[in-house]
């Protein structure tokens, strides 16, 4: 008996070393995978931040410009459309000619090219905001051309010239020495829509487009998804038809998103005539894509409500509706919200289906309503990444930072909401 006991024990002891090794190995794999994941994240973020952070800065020229009433032919009584049409561009050119010495036409052109073609809008905006400025000297930070911007931010430190010639460099260095050429926080990046000129391009249009599109998506997919989940889980008879519906919902979740774009193009645009390139059509297509995720997670959340709660309510004489809406739904809500937020995050980053429905169009105006033409952040990123100018590369990373910030904000709100709604039983 004792012998048998010792052999059993020694066998167990022998096995122990093997078991411990196996456990150690498994832990190592775990640590390695987590480490690899973190490394990828660090590289990704590091790369984006290092490339994109300069997108938030803009090179400007500090200028004192006399808003010459005679030159412009305007005064503070002039009607708005005349104020709008004033020759501010000429005013800037005049200012530049005065501040740097130029002789030939080609030199003049080189000089004018230093300032952004959109700089005169700055003057126009200032005058429109306050016509009394006419006649006085306006102190303004003129936005510089992207070539100057890139040179000042990147190449100058390394002694490079970028795409500028000797003459231009001479003027610029002089301005730097005078402290007039400087880099400041770029508000245009956040207040402007897209533009052909990198220094004037901003993400405001894309952000508004994204917000409007997500709003449409949420308003459609959340109620429809929750209603479908409740019906399928609580009310639908268990038969062949519901089974087929279930299988197809699961299949839909795995359908490549570009297919939904084609579907939206074929049905919403071609048959129902919804105008293309709007947050409305974008939201409709993304709803199709988000619905399966919301329905599946919603059903899982409903299933996880303990049956004892249902029984308690039924036992008191609650009707099916009352059981569902008083007890099941509140308890399932955190899970449903999690699913919804996963779906919305997916929708936030989706590009492919939106390309099919015209949201890739070049849209300068900032959309104000769901039927205005617009683009969304990921598509904006895609558009910019395709542009040859170096300044757009920088803006691509900048827009990615904005997109990621949005994603993190959304997830934070979701987690907070879930915590608030979560109840123990």
Partner 1 sequence: MSIIENHQTDGEPFCDSPKLKARGVGVFYGDKQAIFDVSLDIGANEVIALIGPSGCGKSTFLRCLNRMNDTIDICRITGEILLDDEDIYAPKIDVVPLRARVGMVFQKPNPFPKTIFDNVAYGPRIHGLVNHRHELEEIVEQSLRRAGLWSEVKDRLDAPGTGLSGGQQQRLCIARTIAVDPEVILMDEPCSALDPIATARIEELIDELRDNYTIAIVTHSMQQAARVSQRTAYFHLGQLIEVNPTDLVFTKPQHALTEAYITGRFG
Give the N- to C-terminal CA distance of the chain in Å, as an integer.
51
48 binds partner 1 (CB under 8 A): no
CA distance 282 to 370: 9
129 binds partner 1 (CB under 8 A): no
Contact predicate 210/381, CB 8 Å:
no
Select from 124-132, 183-191, 311-319, 334-342 the region that touches partner 1 (CB under 8 A): 311-319
Decide: helix, strand or coil at residue 355. Answer: helix
Among 20, 196, 326, 420, binds partner 1 (CB under 8 A): 326
Q: How many residues bind partner 1 (CB under 8 A)?
A: 21
Q: Which residues on adjacent β-strands are paired with residue 61?
A: 142, 181
423 binds partner 1 (CB under 8 A): yes
Measured on CA atoms in the order 393, 396, 400, 401, is the torsion positive or negative? positive
327 binds partner 1 (CB under 8 A): yes
312 binds partner 1 (CB under 8 A): yes
Minimum distance of partner 1 from residue 314's CB (angstroms): 6
17 binds partner 1 (CB under 8 A): no
| CA-to-CA separations, 120 to 87, 104, 107, 249, 268, in angstroms, rounded | 9, 23, 20, 55, 42
Q: How many CB atoms lie within 10 A of CB 1?
A: 5
Contact predicate 240/305, CB 8 Å:
no
231 binds partner 1 (CB under 8 A): no
Query: Nearer to partner 1 by C-beta: 176 or 321?
Result: 321
Using CB under 8 A, which residues numbered 233 to 292 contact partner 1? 238
Select from 108-116, 280-288, 308-316, 401-409 the region that touches partner 1 (CB under 8 A): 308-316
Q: Which residues on adjacent β-strands are paired with residue 63?
A: 140
Minimum distance of partner 1 from residue 302's CB (angstroms): 15
Q: Which helix (H) or strand (E) holds 143?
A: strand 137-143
Query: Nearer to partner 1 by C-beta: 170 or 306?
Result: 306
Minimum distance of partner 1 from residue 331's CB (angstroms): 7
CA distance 204 to 193: 5
Minimum distance of partner 1 from residue 319's CB (angstroms): 5
420 binds partner 1 (CB under 8 A): no
Residues in contact with partner 1 by CB under 8 A are 238, 306, 308-319, 322, 326-327, 331, 423-425
């Amino acid at each position: 008996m004792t012998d048998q006991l010792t052999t059993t024990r020694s066998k167990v002891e022998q096995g122990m070393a093997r078991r411990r090794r196996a456990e150690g190995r498994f832990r190592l794999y775990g640590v390695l995978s987590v480490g690899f994941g973190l490394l990828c994240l660090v590289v990704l973020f590091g790369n984006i931040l290092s490339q994109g952070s300069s997108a938030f800065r803009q090179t400007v020229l500090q200028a004192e410009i006399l808003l010459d009433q005679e030159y412009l032919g305007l005064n503070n009584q002039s009607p708005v459309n005349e104020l709008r049409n004033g020759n501010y561009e000429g005013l800037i050119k005049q200012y530049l000619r005065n501040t740097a010495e130029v002789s030939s036409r080609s030199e003049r052109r080189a000089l004018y090219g230093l300032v952004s073609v959109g700089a005169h809008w700055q003057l126009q905006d200032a005058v429109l905001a306050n016509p009394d400025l006419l006649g006085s000297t306006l102190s303004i930070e003129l936005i510089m051309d992207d070539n100057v911007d890139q040179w000042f931010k990147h190449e100058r430190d390394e002694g490079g010239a970028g795409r500028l010639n000797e003459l231009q460099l001479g003027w610029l260095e002089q301005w730097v020495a005078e402290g007039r050429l400087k880099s400041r926080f770029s508000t245009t990046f956040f207040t402007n829509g897209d533009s052909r000129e990198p220094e004037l391009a901003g993400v405001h249009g894309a952000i508004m487009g994204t917000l409007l599109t997500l709003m449409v998506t949420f308003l459609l997919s959340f109620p429809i998804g929750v209603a479908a989940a409740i019906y399928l889980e609580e009310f639908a008879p268990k038969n062949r038809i519901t089974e087929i519906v279930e299988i197809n919902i699961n299949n839909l979740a795995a359908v490549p998103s570009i297919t939904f774009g084609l579907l939206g193009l074929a049905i919403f645009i071609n048959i129902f005539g919804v105008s293309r390139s709007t947050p409305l059509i974008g939201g409709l297509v993304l709803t199709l894509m988000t619905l399966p995720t919301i329905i599946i997670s919603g059903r899982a959340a409903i299933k996880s409500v303990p049956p004892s709660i249902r029984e308690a309510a039924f036992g008191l004489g609650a009707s099916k509706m009352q059981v569902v809406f008083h007890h099941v739904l509140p308890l399932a809500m955190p899970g449903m919200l999690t699913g919804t937020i996963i779906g919305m995050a997916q929708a936030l980053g989706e590009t492919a289906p939106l390309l099919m429905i015209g949201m890739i169009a070049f849209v300068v105006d900032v959309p104000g309503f769901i039927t205005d033409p617009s683009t969304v952040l990921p598509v904006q990123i895609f558009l910019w990444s395709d542009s040859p100018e170096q300044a757009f590369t920088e803006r691509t990373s900048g827009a990615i930072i904005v997109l990621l910030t949005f994603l993190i904000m959304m997830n934070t709100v979701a987690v907070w909401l879930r915590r608030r709604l979560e109840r123990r039983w």
